[in-house]
Amino acid sequence: MQVNYFDIAVLVILLAFGIRGGARGFVAEMAGLVGLIVGLTVARSGASRFAETLSQYISPGAAPLVAFVLLVAAGMLAVGLVARVLQRVLEIAFAGWLDHLLGVGAGLLKACLLCAVLAYLAVMLVPQFPVVARAQTIPPLLDFVRWAVGSLNVSIPMPV
């Protein structure tokens, strides 16, 4: 088994995300994702009404974009505050170690998702490159993509 630059990059990403997840904790790792989803949902449903109000104070042309950005940020901030309270409760209950241990797993999962997307793009865009063709990590990452795509019941072209 010969490891190449793509494989090393995957290992570095896994290591970095695992360490970051452990340092931040599970609650913080998930809060970022949940906060983004909540923020986008709130912005999608309320940006037009908020833009009407904002247009009284700023340029009507910029109001929709500013409203959207502010609502996304507000949603993320609200989830972040709830996450901080939850982290404090876990620390008080002497379960902070569990939060950080699960954070490693959450970080590794995020890294796997990122690496799977990178592997998919590499195989679809530049399959003939030696680094891509010989990478040991690409086949299992593409298996992960196939599993995820099948689980989500979506259709994307897959390399052979």
In a domain, residue 142? The reply is yes
The mean per-residue pLDDT over the stretch 77-104 comes to 92
In a domain, residue 157? The reply is no
The mean per-residue pLDDT over the stretch 76-95 comes to 92
pTM, entire model: 0.72
Distance separating alpha carbons of residues 86 and 64, to the nearest angstrom: 33
In a domain, residue 38? The reply is yes
Distance separating alpha carbons of residues 54 and 47, to the nearest angstrom: 10
The mean per-residue pLDDT over the stretch 102-129 comes to 92
Other C-beta atoms lying within 10 Å of the C-beta of residue 2 = 7
Longest dimension (CA), the chain: 65
The mean per-residue pLDDT over the stretch 130-140 comes to 92
The mean per-residue pLDDT over the stretch 38-45 comes to 91
pLDDT at 135 over 80: yes
What b/e string do you get for 12-46 counting C-beta neighbours within 10 Å, with b at 16 or more?
A: ebbeebbebbbebbbbbbbbbebbeebbeebbeee
In a domain, residue 159? The reply is no
What is the model's pLDDT at position 32? 85
In a domain, residue 31? The reply is yes
What's the domain count of the chain?
1
In a domain, residue 67? The reply is yes
Other C-beta atoms lying within 10 Å of the C-beta of residue 104 = 20
Residue 91's domain spans which residues?
5-151
pLDDT at 137 over 90: yes
In a domain, residue 126? The reply is yes
What is the model's pLDDT at position 103? 95
pLDDT interval class at 160 (50, 70, 90): low
pLDDT at 19 over 90: yes
What is the model's pLDDT at position 1? 73
Distance separating alpha carbons of residues 57 and 114, to the nearest angstrom: 40
Contacts of 145 (CB under 8 A, 6+ apart): 116, 117, 119, 120, 158
- Record the tokens describing residue 137, joined without a space: 């990590």
Q: Say if residues 35 and 76 touch (Cβ distance below 8 Å).
A: yes
pLDDT interval class at 33 (50, 70, 90): confident
In a domain, residue 91? The reply is yes
Q: 23: left (phi > 0), else alpha (psi -120 to 50), else beta?
A: alpha
